[in-house]
Amino acid sequence: MSLKPLRLYQLIGILTGLLLASAGRLTAQTNGIFADFTTSMGNFTCQLDFTNAPKTVANFVGLATGQHSWLDLITGRARNDPFYNGLTFHRVIAGFMNQGGSPNGTGNDGPGYAFIDEFSPRLVFTNVGVLAMANSGKNSNGSQFFITTAPYPSGNNTYSIFGQVVSGMNAVNAINAVATDANNKPLTNVVIQQIAIRRVGAVAQAFDINAQGLPIVTNAPIRVGIGAGQVTLTFSNRLYADERFYSATNLSEPWTEDPMGIEITAPSVGSLQKTNKVPKQFFRLGQVQYASSTFAPRSLNGKTLALVFTNTLTETMTINFNSSGGGTYSFGVYGSGSVTNYSWAQEPYRGFLWPIYFTGLVPMTFELDSSSNTAGGFSGTAYSSFPFSIMGTFSLTGP
């Protein structure tokens, strides 16, 4: 195998990393919380900044040790074993970063919950070896993380930084140099064999991961009522809980998920009806309890969405949704008309109109990032002959 010459920025990154690693071995590990990574391509250590990113550090420590429960998205089981052991660095971009923390190795999953972004002016992508959360948009952190191999100033206040490599940057750079396919996936798996957490000093020992407001994952009790051809499943509904039913006819086969969504109104008894698949059937309810109500609703039926555009289309669009998958709109100088169809998806802290179709306008997509039950900011795309970005603020009212 021939060796390719290093680009100048890669060489600078390696030299900077070696200097940081050397300094870390001498001074940084006297006090603090440290994550010792053991991988199939070498070992490295990150110091975790629980002072400036307490929620993010608590999540990482909880998953790494199994002290914070996570939801197995295949079976719906709440688990407490170490999350990262055996996972891979599934995305590697030479001269930029290494990303890991996806159970299925494709980058589209996580621990079954999300938590909010955490930014600090003291945490920036100035150096190499910065440890940060990967995300799919605002307030969508879960389990996936990345480690930089070059400065990344455009990532400031977009990705939550929570640590820094303090030794073993040579291993990080070795991972960053592996051969990858067209999707930046290593051709040979780079396995995270273990992430061991070390607490050094009284302050680090006292840091409580359970006091940081992370979502709580459990398996809730289910009452099963058997009828003619149907099974009725009832459970105790809880405010701000994301509930997902799983079912299987054999414990060795894949489980089927029936997501109920996040409850943002007063709690009550919940229920779900399923076909009775004799002779046996198994059910499990995964319940993720959130602490507050900054969520999109389960449905837009009967609600009014006001979108104040702040770029390109400087107007206010008001959409009134009906109960049959449509509605009406008015859009300032662009006129009014009907909503012919839309697709709505609810996630923690945000919702997606992806897409929405109008009688007199081009199709659009909206990501609604909630800052409260009734307001927030949006971003998206208007699909004209030349698609362009749209953004602004929104308010949402109705039942």
Average pLDDT over residues 347-359: 95
Looking at the chain, the whole-number percentage of residues with pLDDT higher than 90 is: 80
What is the average pLDDT score of the chain? 91
pLDDT at 171: 98
Segment (H or E) for 107 = none
- For residue 297, tell me if it sits in a domain: no
pLDDT at 287 > cutoff 60: yes
Q: Same structural domain for residues 252 and 385?
A: no
What is residue 5's predicted lDDT score, i.e. its pLDDT?
A: 39
Q: What is the mean pLDDT of residues 341-350?
A: 94
Of these ranges, 12-16, 210-214, 290-294, the one predicted with the greatest mean pLDDT is 210-214
- Do 54 and 120 share a domain, yes or no? yes
One domain for residues 174 and 321 = no
Contact indicator for 336, 327 with CB cutoff of 8 Å: no
Read off the pTM.
0.88
Tell me which residue range forms the domain holding 315. Answer: 304-397
Looking at the structure, do residues 12 and 133 belong to the same domain, yes or no? Answer: yes
Question: Which of 184, 211, 238 finishes a domain?
Answer: 211
202 and 351 co-located in one domain: no
Is 275 part of any domain?
Answer: yes
Cα distance between residue 187 and residue 399, in whole Å? 51
Q: Looking at the structure, do residues 34 and 128 belong to the same domain, yes or no? A: yes
Q: What percent of the chain has pLDDT over 70?
A: 93
For 310-339, the pLDDT digits (tens) are: 998 889 999 999 999 999 999 999 999 999
CA–CA distance, 223 with 396 (Å, rounded to integer):
35
**Structure-token pair, residue 385:** 């002959």
Same domain, 78 and 186: yes
Closest of 106, 86, 93 to residue 40, by C-alpha: 86
Position 185 scores a pLDDT of: 98
Q: Which of 175, 193, 211 is the last residue of a domain?
A: 211
Q: For residue 33, give the H/E element and its range.
A: strand 32-39
Residue 3 lies in a domain: no
pLDDT at 29: 58
86: left (phi over 0), alpha (psi -120 to 50) or beta: left
Q: Are 185 and 178 in contact (CB under 8 A)?
A: no
Is residue 29 situated within a structural domain?
yes
Domain count, the chain: 3
